[in-house]
Amino acid sequence: MAPRFTVIGSYVSPYVRKVLACLELKGQAYEIDPIPPFVGDERFTALSPLRRVPVLIDGDLVLTDSSVICQYLEDRFATPSLYPADIAARAKARWLEEYCDTHLASLLLWKLFYQKVIRRHFFGEEPDEALMAHAREVEIPAALDYLESQLPAEGYAFGELSIADISLASYFRTAAFVRYAIDATRWPRTAALVHKVQALPPFQRLAQLEDAILRVPPQDQRAVLATAGVPLTATTMGTQAPRKGSARVE
Amino acid sequence: MAPRFTVIGSYVSPYVRKVLACLELKGQAYEIDPIPPFVGDERFTALSPLRRVPVLIDGDLVLTDSSVICQYLEDRFATPSLYPADIAARAKARWLEEYCDTHLASLLLWKLFYQKVIRRHFFGEEPDEALMAHAREVEIPAALDYLESQLPAEGYAFGELSIADISLASYFRTAAFVRYAIDATRWPRTAALVHKVQALPPFQRLAQLEDAILRVPPQDQRAVLATAGVPLTATTMGTQAPRKGSARVE
C-alpha cells in the first residue's frame, strides 16, 4: 500500500527539509517526488500556485507552504508535539520559524546557496561575489547576533524540541552545502543548537540522501534515491527545463 | 488602567489591520503607537529586529509578524474562534492568509500602495508606472482568478468568519486607498466576500480612522487619532525621518 502522504520537492530545500523532519519525527510514512528547484511542470503549477515547494498531498487535501504544512501535521498528530505547550513560548517558536523562513532564507538560501549552486549549475550564470561577501561578512553575522540573543545557554530553544529548532537546523544545513559553518567561538549557543538538532536520527538520514543527490546532476537524482531505498512517486512533475520565476525555492 | 495590549504600527498597513481586527473581534482593548511606515527609531528596532509592523506587546512578551500575533491571540482567547475547527479547513485558511501576506502583499501593497503613496509622499520619488500597470493588468487579475477558484459561491471562505476572510479584506482595503476595487462582474465571489467582511463593525470602525489619518501628513496623525478618542501610547517610537531598509511594511 502506498504511504498516506506524498511530498513534492527537493531534499536540498530547507523548506522541504522542515516538512520531512516533521513527518519523520511524527513517524509518518511518505513517498516523494524530489523535483529539483525550478523544474516543476504545469501539473506542479496546478498544485502549487506560487510554484513553491514543498507540496504535501494527503488524500484530497493539497497544501503548500512549509509553515502551514508543519502546523497541519501538528494538528493531525499531536504526539510528539513539535510546538511548545506554553502559549507565549509557542508564539516565540513560530516567530523564530518565520525569521528563518524569510530572513535566514534571504541570506543563506538566496545570497549563498542560490548564487553558488543554482545560478551556476542551473542557469549558467556567475555568482554575484559582492552580494555573497556582504552576506557573509555583515548580514549573516548580524542575524547570528540576534539568534544568539534569543537562545538559551544549552538545550533546545524552548525546552523540548520544537519547530524553532527544526527550522534553524534546516537552514544552516543548506548553508553547509556551500561550506558556511557557524563560528562556535563567536555564536556558541546557535552553533551548539544547530549541531544538536542536525545530529538527530531524522536529520542524519536526510543528510545521507542530500549528500547523495548533490554528487550527481539533477536528471540522475531519482535513480540515486531509488537505489537508496527512498519511496518515490510513480511519475515526476519535474519534467521542464529549469526556468526562473518562482518567488522563492520554497 | 492601561489596556492589556499595546500595538505598534500604522492603520494603513494591512498587516496591522489584521491584528487590530482580531483584537476587536475578540473584544480585547489595546493602546496603539500608530507610527507611519519607515519612521521607527532605535527603540522600535530593538523590539522588531526586521523592522516590521505590527508589534504586539503583552506584558513581558513582545511579538512581531501578523500571522504569529493573530495565532497567539487565538491561542489566548478561544472565543470567538477565528480559525476553522476542521483541521484541513484550518490549514487551507492559513494558506490563504499566507497567500495574502506574501503574494497579495507583493502586488497590492508593494506594486500599488507603496508606489503611489509611500514612494511619492515619503521619499519624493515618482511611481514606477510600468510596474503598476503590469500589476493591475496581469498579475492582480491572475491572483483574483486563483482566489475566485478557492472561495465558495457565498458566505465566508470556510463557513464561519476566519483569518482567511480577515486577511483578504485587509489587503483589498489597502488597495482601495489607491482606488483599486475588485471587478465584481469578473470575480463575484472575491468581491462579495471582501465587501461582506469590510462591512463588519470592527472593519468599519478602523476604516473611519484610516480615512482620517490619510487626509493629514504623518506628523499630524497622532493628534487626529487622539481627537477621535483612540487610546494612544504615552510616547511614540516614530521619531526618525523616513528611511528605507525595511524588508516590508509588515
C-alpha angle A83/A89/A92, rounded to 5°? 90
> Which chain A residues are within 8 Å of B95, Cβ to Cβ?
63-65, 68
Instruction: Compute the distance between CA of residue A211 and CA of residue A225 in angstroms, rounded to an integer.
Output: 11
Contact assignment for B61 to A91 by CB distance below 8 Å? yes
Using the predicted structure, report yes or no on whether residue B219 has a pLDDT greater than 50. Answer: yes
Contact assignment for B69 to A91 by CB distance below 8 Å? yes
Half-sphere exposure at residue B37, Cβ-oriented, CA atoms within 13 angstroms: 24
- Give me the phi and psi of A110, to 5 degrees please: -85, -35
Q: Would you state the pLDDT for residue A247?
A: 39
- Is residue B49 less than 8 Å (CB to CB) from chain A? yes
Look up the CATH architecture of domain B87-198. Up-down Bundle (1.20)
- Is residue B90 less than 8 Å (CB to CB) from chain A? yes
The DSSP line for B38-94 is: T---HHHHHH-TT--S-EEEETTEEEESHHHHHHHHHHH--SS--S-SSHHHHHHHH
Mean pLDDT of chain B: 93
- A237-241, B68-72, B190-194 — which is least confidently predicted? A237-241
Using the predicted structure, report yes or no on whether residue A70 has a pLDDT greater than 70. Answer: yes
> Which chain A residues are within 8 Å of B50, Cβ to Cβ?
99, 102-103
Nearest residue to A190 via CA among A172, A177, A206? A172
- Is residue A138 less than 8 Å (CB to CB) from chain B? no
Q: Would you state the pLDDT for residue A245?
A: 56
Q: Would you state the pLDDT for residue B244?
A: 67
> Which carries the bigger pLDDT value, residue A240 or residue A161?
A161
Instruction: Compute the distance between CA of residue A157 and CA of residue A193 in angstroms, rounded to an integer.
Output: 8
The residue assigned the cell 511548545 is A84
Sheet holding A61-64, edge to edge: A30-33, A5-8, A55-58, A61-64
The DSSP line for B100-163 is: IIIIIIIIIIIIIIIIIIIIHHHH-----HHHHHHIIIIIHHHHHHHHHHHS-SSSBTBBB--H
Percent of chain B's residues with pLDDT above 70: 97
Using the predicted structure, report yes or no on whether residue A218 has a pLDDT greater than 90. Answer: no
Helix (H) or strand (E) holding B8: strand B5-8
Mutate to test the interface with A, among B15, B51, B98 (most CBs of A within 10 A): B98
Helical pair A163-176 and A188-198, crossing angle rounded to 10 deg: 90
Cα nearest neighbour of A49 on chain B: B146
> Which chain A residues are within 8 Å of B87, Cβ to Cβ?
72, 75-76
Tell me how far CA of residue A63 lies from CA of A5, A137, A171, in angstroms: 11, 37, 21
- CATH number of this structure's domain A5-81+202-227, picked from the four choices 3.40.140.10, 3.20.20.70, 1.25.40.10, 3.40.30.10: 3.40.30.10
Contact assignment for A75 to B94 by CB distance below 8 Å? no
Contact assignment for B91 to A61 by CB distance below 8 Å? yes
Q: Cα B194 vs. chain centroid, distance in angstroms?
A: 13
Question: ipTM of the assembly?
Answer: 0.95
Which 8-state DSSP code applies to residue B36?
A: P
Q: Would you state the pLDDT for residue A68?
A: 98
- Stated pTM of the model: 0.95
Q: Would you state the pLDDT for residue B146?
A: 98
For residue A196, give the C-alpha cell: 544538536
- Is residue A103 less than 8 Å (CB to CB) from chain B? yes
Instruction: Compute the distance between CA of residue A173 and CA of residue A195 in angstroms, rounded to an integer.
Output: 10
Q: Residues in chain B, how many?
A: 250
Contact assignment for A49 to B247 by CB distance below 8 Å? no
Mutate to test the interface with B, among A15, A22, A48, A50 (most CBs of B within 10 A): A50
Residue A144: CB atoms within 10 A of its CB come to 20
Residue B158's identity, in one-letter code, is: F
Instruction: Compute the distance between CA of residue B231 and CA of residue B98 in angstroms, rounded to an integer.
Output: 30
Using the predicted structure, report yes or no on whether residue B231 has a pLDDT greater than 90. Answer: yes
CB A186, CB A222: distance < 8 Å: no
> Which chain B residues are within 8 Å of A15, Cβ to Cβ?
none
Domain coordinates in residue numbering, chain A: 5-81+202-227, 87-198
Instruction: Compute the distance between CA of residue B156 and CA of residue B93 in angstroms, rounded to an integer.
Output: 11
- Is residue A64 less than 8 Å (CB to CB) from chain B? yes
- Is residue A45 less than 8 Å (CB to CB) from chain B? no
- Is residue B250 less than 8 Å (CB to CB) from chain A? no
From chain A residues 150-209, the ones with a CB under 8 A of any chain B CB are none
CB A55, CB A47: distance < 8 Å: yes
Contact assignment for B91 to A63 by CB distance below 8 Å? yes
Distance from CA of A140 to the nearest CA of B (A): 13
Cα nearest neighbour of A143 on chain B: B49
- Is residue B48 less than 8 Å (CB to CB) from chain A? no
The predicted-structure confidence for A81-139, as pLDDT tens digits, reads as follows: 999 999 999 999 999 999 999 999 999 998 988 888 878 777 888 889 999 999 999 99
Strand, helix or coil for residue B232: strand
Sheet holding B55-58, edge to edge: B30-33, B5-8, B55-58, B61-64
> Which chain A residues are within 8 Å of B146, Cβ to Cβ?
49
Helical pair B66-76 and B163-176, crossing angle rounded to 10 deg: 140
The DSSP line for B14-33 is: HHHHHHHHHHHHTT--EEEE
Query: Which residue in the set B72, B87, B98 is minimally distant from A76, CB to CB?
Result: B87
